[in-house]
């Protein structure tokens, strides 16, 4: 996948999707609620440890190193496209990469997940945030986007870019890693929100993240991403009132930046049954649903002016074939063939998932006809 480095890439004409043109790829058509020949399907975390070809690369390189080497990131992005027959590729990267140029020390610790060695405690830390120039600071990710787009161009296979939403990224920065109760995050949210006395630490942190993440997505789109997903994976820990007040304005800012580009955005979270209408109002042409809400009920709450993505429980991929089929068909039946359904899991593929079951789901989805 060595294509001669940066110089060649920067001379290339931009590969930006013309937003006005009606797309032909199933996935992009479904994002716009256009009719499709079969339901499109892809999987969150479709590139990862359940794939032997990913593990072979991981055995020789650590995660951050892979994301800093565009040719490796591109190769891994393409693995599930070849292995599974999915309808879209998702860039291999991580939602936490933009925090490095913001000034955070990020490490992925085996068995623990991401660790931030200098977490945010209060205003002093927020004031130390660096201003990010996405084109230079995250140029390695944008280069991976260009490489993948070029590799997929001939097949018309769409590439999804992504970022973490301000709340979910902030939660890692404040907690210093994964959390159960998000107590530190909520404490900063409740005390660091300016109550008429100017912006507090929360407002400044969320404002800086919204700005950076919006520009990061816009840069991925400019480099060739034809859709983007905003991952607000942990936002379900908030009440609707808190979401509306402390989070929605910042997610809206990110999604408005994407909207200016004309490229569709998928707005995803888990545990969001009570937040769906608010998430829709924050933005996104597609709303991601997890498995805790039946797809038809979720879509009804949202209204059919948005597309939906989801929502098989990732654990179902460990069940015997007849159960797997029953549950896949249940999701499809609830979507009812209405234009604007993208089949996916309700959250990412789990590391021990049998690859043949993932492949079987792709076939089931593609073969399914409304009855
Ligand atoms: O979906 C894809 O195939 C693209 C790649 C991708 C990764 N992370 C690579 C990765 C994507 C879309 C992400 C998003 C991400 N990262 C999210 C949002 C999605 C979600 O699952 O909620 C979150 C919360 C993170 C933060 C993160 N990165 C965690 C919590 C972990 C550790 C958990 C784990 O699975 O080990 C990571 C590490 C990570 N990011 C891995 C991968 C493939 C595992 C790394 C490894 O090989 O050891």
230, 348, 352, 355, best to mutate for ligand 1 pocket (most atoms within 8 Å of CB): 348
Least confident span in 97-106, 115-124, 187-196, 248-257? 187-196
DSSP 13: P
pLDDT in tens, 2-21: 333 333 444 344 445 555 57
| CB within 8 Å of 180: residues ≥ 6 apart | none
Pairing of strands 159-164, 113-116: unpaired
pLDDT computed for residue 111 by the predictor: 87
CB 224 near ligand 1, within 6 Å: no
Contact 149, 223 (CB under 8 A): yes
pLDDT value for 196: 60
pLDDT tens-digit readout, 92-136: 999 999 999 999 999 999 988 999 999 999 999 999 999 999 999
- If you average pLDDT over residues 165-192, what whole number do you get? 95
The angle, 0 to 180 degrees and rounded to 10, between the axes of the packed helices 201-223 and 166-175 is 120
Can you tell me whether residue 315 is helix, strand or coil? helix
Name residues whose C-beta falls within 8 Å of residue 363's C-beta, 6 or more positions apart in sequence. 85
**Is the CB of residue 142 less than 8 Å from the CB of residue 98?**
no
Q: Pick the catalytic residue from 3, 16, 32, 49.
A: 49
Cα-to-centroid distance, 22 and ligand 1 (Å): 32
78 lines ligand 1 (CB under 6 A): no
Active site residue 58: yes
Let me know if 172 is a catalytic residue: yes
**Which pLDDT score, from 0 to 100, does residue 2 have?**
39
pLDDT band at 371 (very low <50, low <70, confident <90, very high): low
The yes-or-no verdict on residue 155 having pLDDT over 60 is yes
For the Cβ of 220 lying below 6 angstroms from any atom of ligand 1, the answer is no
pLDDT band at 193 (very low <50, low <70, confident <90, very high): confident
What is the end-to-end Cα distance of the chain in Å, rounded? 44
Q: 248-259 vs 166-175: helix axis angle to the nearest 10?
A: 130
CA of 198 to the centre of ligand 1 (A): 36
Give 12 or 359, the one with higher predicted confidence. 359
Residue 95 alpha carbon to ligand 1 centre in Å: 7
Ligand 1 centre to CA of 159 (Å) is 17
Which atom belonging to ligand 1 lies closest to the Cα atom of 270?
Answer: 22
Chain mean pLDDT for the chain: 94
Per DSSP bridges, beta strands 106-109 and 89-90 are unpaired
* Residues found in the chain: 371
Q: What residue's CA is closest to ligand 1, atom 30?
A: 113
Task: Give the pLDDT score at 57.
Answer: 98
What's the confidence (pLDDT) of residue 20? Answer: 59
CB neighbours of residue 323 within 10 Å: 11
Average pLDDT over residues 319-335: 98
Per the residue annotation, which of 58, 68, 150, 325 is the catalytic one? 58
Gap between the Cα atoms of 346 and 151, Å rounded:
28
Check: CB of residue 42 under 8 Å from CB of residue 88: yes
What confidence score (pLDDT) does residue 43 get?
98
Q: CA–CA separation, 293 vs 324, rounded Å? A: 18
Q: What is the pLDDT of residue 13?
A: 45
The single-letter DSSP state of residue 105 is -
Can you give the pTM of this predicted structure? 0.93
Flag whether pLDDT at 60 surpasses 50. yes
Protein residue whose Cα sits closest to atom 17 of ligand 1: 95
Parallel, antiparallel, or unpaired for β 307-312 and 106-109?
A: unpaired
**Mutate which of 42, 48, 270 for ligand 1 pocket (most atoms within 8 A of beta carbon):** 48
Model pLDDT, residue 369: 85
Q: Is the CB of 162 under 6 A from ligand 1?
A: yes
Centre of ligand 1 to C-alpha 63, Å, is: 10
């Amino acid at each position: 996948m060595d294509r001669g480095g940066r110089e060649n890439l920067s001379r290339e004409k931009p590969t930006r999707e013309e937003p006005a043109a009606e797309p032909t790829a199933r996935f992009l058509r479904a994002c716009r609620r256009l009719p499709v020949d079969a339901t499109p399907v892809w999987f969150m975390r479709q590139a990862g440890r359940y794939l032997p070809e990913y593990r072979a690369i991981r055995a020789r390189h650590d995660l951050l190193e892979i994301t800093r080497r565009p040719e490796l990131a591109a190769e891994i992005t393409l693995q599930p496209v070849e292995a599974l027959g999915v309808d879209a590729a998702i860039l291999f990267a991580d939602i936490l990469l933009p925090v490095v140029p913001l000034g955070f020390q990020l490490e992925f610790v085996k068995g623990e997940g991401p660790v931030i060695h200098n977490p945010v405690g209060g205003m002093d830390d927020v004031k130390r945030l660096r201003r990010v120039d996405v084109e230079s600071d995250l140029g390695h990710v944008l280069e991976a986007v260009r490489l993948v787009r070029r590799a997929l161009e001939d097949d018309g296979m769409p590439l999804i870019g992504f970022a973490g939403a301000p709340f979910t990224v902030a939660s890692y920065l404040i907690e210093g890693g994964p959390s159960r109760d998000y107590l530190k995050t909520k404490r900063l949210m409740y005390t660091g929100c300016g109550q008429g006395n100017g912006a507090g630490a929360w407002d400044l942190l969320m404002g800086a993240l919204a700005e950076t993440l919006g520009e990061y997505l816009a840069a991925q789109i400019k480099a060739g991403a034809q859709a983007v997903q905003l991952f607000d994976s942990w936002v379900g820990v908030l009440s609707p009132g808190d979401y509306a007040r402390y989070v929605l304005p910042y997610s809206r800012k990110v999604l408005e930046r994407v909207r200016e580009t004309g490229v569709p955005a998928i707005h995803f979270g888990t545990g969001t049954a009570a937040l769906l209408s608010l998430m829709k109002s924050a933005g996104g042409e597609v709303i991601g649903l997890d498995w805790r809400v039946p797809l038809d009920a979720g879509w009804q709450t949202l209204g059919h002016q948005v597309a939906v993505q989801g929502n098989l429980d990732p654990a179902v991929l460990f069940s015997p074939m007849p159960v797997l089929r029953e549950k896949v068909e249940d999701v499809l039946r609830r979507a009812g063939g209405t234009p604007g359904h993208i089949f996916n899991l309700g959250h990412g593929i789990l590391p021990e998932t049998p690859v043949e079951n993932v492949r079987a789901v792709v076939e089931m989805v593609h073969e399914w006809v409304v009855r």
